[in-house]
């Protein structure tokens, strides 16, 4: 599916509204930007409204009239102005309000208009999910195809994500239990780093400075969306299978990728599920022992969003009392109504960011979905109906003056960079794209062609120089050798941990000798 019981303090309130809930009253000084921007231009054409309603009912995409462009029509002057400004907003301390930002009240009153503190956190987690694509080795002629191109100690440095204040502690690998026809094989080479496994994401944890800013030690799990052909095969299965001890069921293919393992493999002797839960439990126990408050935030795009929900379900079952949130982008439905209900009962908070034109969130269950719940009195609860989970933040491609509004660009609509661009510019459903959006719009075209041509940003520009070839000392263009530290090797990681433990024991023995 790549086409993938506690007391809470309130956020600041600056104006009251009778009958509104406590969270819908939130109007901090930061929200004044929503008032300063122009009001959204609305169409009064009844035919257009009728067409939109029918399109929504049939899950079709019909372009709506573009909103008034609030930016300068001189794109050259506009571009010069934009490239002279920072790409990130100042970091505000959310330490006293983190539970609301983390979803304690299901983000009520924070999404429309979008609170700037929440916007920044959504973008942060989205960047972690994007990192799983940016660092993934797609090259089918590489002996390391399917791995991460960098070791975990320098991943964020290479990708420019050190500014977020997190450190990667563990990589996650996953596999698919299927026999693949030769034309679907991931790599063209017989001698590869792994025949069965793919790098699927990572576990990271906030550093001391970020921990003070956000009010707790935040463990993050980022899951990659669909890239490998075997993952496409798994994604397109539609069978539901039981999970847990109740009536919850989840999509067979997603669950297979999350739980598959094999003793004969090097990287998946333990499943992705076992790998991630072992690391999350280790980090949680370590920081709780230091007297710190700990949260778990799980993010992912497309297939990664589905795996994030499975991960959240298992974590909630395994570690009671741990605040768990899921922030997903363009994620498909994962399970049935019982799965949704069990997640809610366990206190998992889920925020789904969805682009209206993206087809992936409509799958599986294009027709047979949560909409059938209205007939429960007649049919009873249908345990085979797919259902979305959590709060939804819906975005619209037509809201951005930088994006092409015509055509049917499925990869562009589903691209995570498109999502992050729209989140960064979203103020509310009643206002236009914010004029002071900070995120670099050029990132949208990293892997697609969604930006208007006037911006002069090449399509699909994110790639290795010379497509990975380097000129050697003899003037020949060859595939470079990876730095030893960037070669995937869980064995080396285990050896490093064992060495560190040995050094620690030696130091302890030395201290005791005195």
Q: Which residues are catalytic?
A: 302, 358, 414
Q: What is the 3-state secondary structure (H, E, C) of 23-79?
A: CCCCCCHHHHHHHHCCECCCCCCHHHHHHHHHHHHHCCCCCCCCCCCCCCCCHHHHH
What beta strand segments (E) does 367-478 contain?
Answer: 391-395, 470-471, 477-478
Report the C-alpha gap between 494 and 479 in whole angstroms.
29
Cis peptide before 113 (omega within 30 of 0): yes
Residues 197 and 265: beta-carbon distance below 8 Å? yes
Q: How many CB atoms lie within 10 A of CB 91?
A: 16
410 and 428 in contact (C-beta within 8 Å)?
A: no
CA nearest 447: which of 457, 439, 456, 437? 457
Q: Which two tokens stand for residue 449?
A: 């062609």
Longest Cα–Cα distance of the chain, Å, equals 88
Per DSSP bridges, beta strands 324-329 and 249-251 are unpaired
132: left (phi over 0), alpha (psi -120 to 50) or beta: alpha
Separation in Å, CA 399 to CA 83, 218, 402, 419, 447: 22, 32, 9, 12, 21
**DSSP of 269-325, one letter per residue?**
SS-HHHHHHHHHHHHHHHHHHTT--EEEEEEEETHHHHHHHHHHHHHHHHSTT--EE
Q: Where are the beta strands (DSSP E) in 176-232?
A: 197-206, 217-223
Length reported for the chain: 514
Cβ(115)–Cβ(31) below 8 Å: yes
The one-character DSSP state at 453 is G
Strands 217-223 and 197-206: antiparallel
C-alpha distances in angstroms, 189 versus 174, 200, 267? Answer: 20, 21, 18
Residue found by looking up tokens 């693949």 in the block:
180
Tokens of 112: 């429309």
């Amino acid at each position: 599916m790549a086409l993938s019981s506690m007391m809470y303090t309130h956020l600041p309130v600056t104006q009251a509204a009778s009958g509104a809930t406590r969270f819908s009253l939130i109007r901090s000084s930061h929200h004044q930007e929503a008032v300063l921007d122009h009001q959204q231009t609305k169409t009064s054409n009844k035919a257009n409204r009728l067409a939109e309603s029918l399109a929504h009912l049939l899950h079709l995409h019909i372009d709506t009239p573009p909103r008034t462009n609030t930016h300068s029509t001189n794109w050259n002057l506009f571009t010069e102005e934009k490239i002279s400004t920072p790409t990130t907003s100042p970091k505000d301390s959310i330490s006293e309000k983190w539970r609301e930002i983390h979803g304690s009240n299901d983000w009520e009153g924070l999404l429309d208009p979008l609170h700037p503190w929440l916007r920044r956190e959504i973008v942060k987690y989205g960047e972690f999910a994007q990192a799983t694509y940016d660092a993934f080795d797609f090259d089918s002629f590489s002996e390391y195809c399917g791995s991460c191109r960098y070791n975990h100690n320098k991943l964020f440095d290479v990708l420019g994500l050190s500014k977020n204040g997190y450190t990667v502690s563990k990589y996650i690998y996953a596999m698919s239990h299927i026999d693949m026809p030769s034309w679907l094989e991931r790599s063209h080479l017989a001698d590869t780093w792994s025949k069965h496994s793919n790098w699927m994401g990572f576990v990271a944890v906030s550093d001391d400075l970020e921990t003070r800013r956000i009010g707790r030690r935040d463990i993050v799990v980022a899951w990659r969306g669909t890239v490998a052909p075997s993952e496409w095969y798994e994604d397109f299965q539609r069978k539901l299978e039981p999970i847990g001890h109740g009536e919850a069921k989840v999509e067979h293919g997603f669950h297979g990728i999350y739980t598959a393992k094999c003793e004969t493999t090097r990287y998946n002797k333990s499943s992705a599920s076992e790998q991630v839960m072992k690391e999350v439990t280790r980090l949680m126990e370590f920081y709780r022992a230091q007297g710190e408050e700990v949260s778990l935030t799980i993010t992912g795009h497309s297939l990664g969003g589905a795996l994030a929900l499975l991960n959240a379900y298992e974590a909630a079952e395994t570690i009671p009392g741990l605040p768990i949130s899921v922030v997903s982008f363009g994620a498909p439905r994962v399970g049935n109504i019982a799965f949704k209900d069990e997640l809610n009962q366990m206190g998992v908070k889920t925020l789904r960011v969805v682009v209206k034109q993206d087809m992936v969130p409509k799958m599986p269950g294009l027709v047979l979905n949560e909409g059938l719940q209205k007939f429960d009195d007649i049919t009873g609860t249908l345990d085979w109906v797919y259902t979305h989970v959590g709060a939804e933040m819906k975005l619209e491609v037509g809201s951005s003056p930088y994006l092409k509004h015509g055509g049917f660009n499925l990869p562009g609509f589903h691209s995570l960079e498109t999502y992050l661009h729209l989140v960064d510019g979203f103020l509310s459903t009643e206002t236009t794209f914010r004029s002071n959006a900070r995120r670099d719009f050029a990132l949208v075209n990293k892997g697609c062609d969604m930006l208007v041509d006037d911006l002069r940003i090449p399509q699909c520009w994110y790639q290795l120089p010379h497509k990975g070839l380097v000129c050697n000392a003899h003037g020949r263009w060859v595939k470079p050798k990876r730095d030893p530290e960037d070669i995937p090797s869980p064995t080396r990681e285990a050896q490093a941990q064992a060495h560190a433990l040995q050094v620690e024991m030696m130091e302890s023995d030395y201290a005791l000798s005195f």
